Amino acid sequence: MDWENKEIVLTGGAGFLGSHVYDKLLERGAKEEQIIIPRSSEYDLRWKENCAEICEGKDIVIHLAANVGGIGYNQEHPADLYYDNILMSTHMMEEARKAGVEKYTALGTICAYPKFTPVPFKEEDLWNGYPEETNAPYGLAKKMQLVQSMSYRKQYGFNSIFLLPVNLYGPRDVFDPKRSHVIPALIKKIYDAKEKGEDNIVVWGTGKPTREFFYVEDCAEGILLATEKYNKSEPVNLGSGMEISIKELVELLVDLMNFDGDIEWDTSKPDGQPRRKLDVSKAKKEFGFEAQTKFEEGLEKTIEWYMVKRQ
């Protein structure tokens, strides 16, 4: 793909993942003035008129914008998560189609998979059950992009793709306890305990669930490779293919951050989905993507970024 001559819309481009996609677009030759990043203060993407305005005359749309948070946020805002995400996604794809956009990349979520999906998660298992309850409103709203994508390709020949990234982490992540996911939440918790001289940290759940974590720069690369090379509406997993328990994750972070206090588990809090690990073979087969960053290396980079930010 000749990025240098493309007019690009990158929704969510100022956010955690989007900022890394933006950097990689520039590395590929895209021109700064030709990458439109609609800010929520100017363009509320829940309104189709705003989506129509930003899609007019554009070649590529990469739709990353979302209302998203961790388990606590999901429990407190299920209606907002459903409403905001389904409206943004529906209007963006429709207005991109009407504007004649040549390629549309939609980002789904691992939360769309059924609660008890066989591990590793394969794309063909996506419809075989209801998502984990705390994630369902968000997961199902994002999953409707797949239905829209396949329908639009069939009826209009619209070239849209749908990617399913697993849990992300890395520099520029959200460390706000009300919205952060597990890795930034734990890094902040350990950092704060050390700063205050506390001798323990409290972690949600039992520590038994497992997760796959995916370094954000690897994800950005996967998104752009798919945009360049993949032209089907069937969903594709994006991930690292690793799996670690929350207990092992906490112990690793405590070690990397030199915290010698105790770990207490608040088992009154939910664990979320029991296991998450993707089958990532389709991404390699279809557009040659494989994650490159080793987990401990990625954690060290994330911790270093947060420590510098706090100084």
Residues in the chain: 311
CA–CA separation, 249 vs 296, rounded Å? 10
Tell me if residue 138 is catalytic: yes
Q: Which of 138, 169, 215, 306 is catalytic?
A: 138
Q: In 10 A of CB 284, how many CB atoms?
A: 12
CA–CA separation, 279 vs 249, rounded Å? 21
CA–CA separation, 209 vs 215, rounded Å? 20
CA–CA separation, 204 vs 206, rounded Å? 7
Q: Which residues contact 33 (CB under 8 A, 6 or more apart)?
A: none
Residues assigned a catalytic role: 138
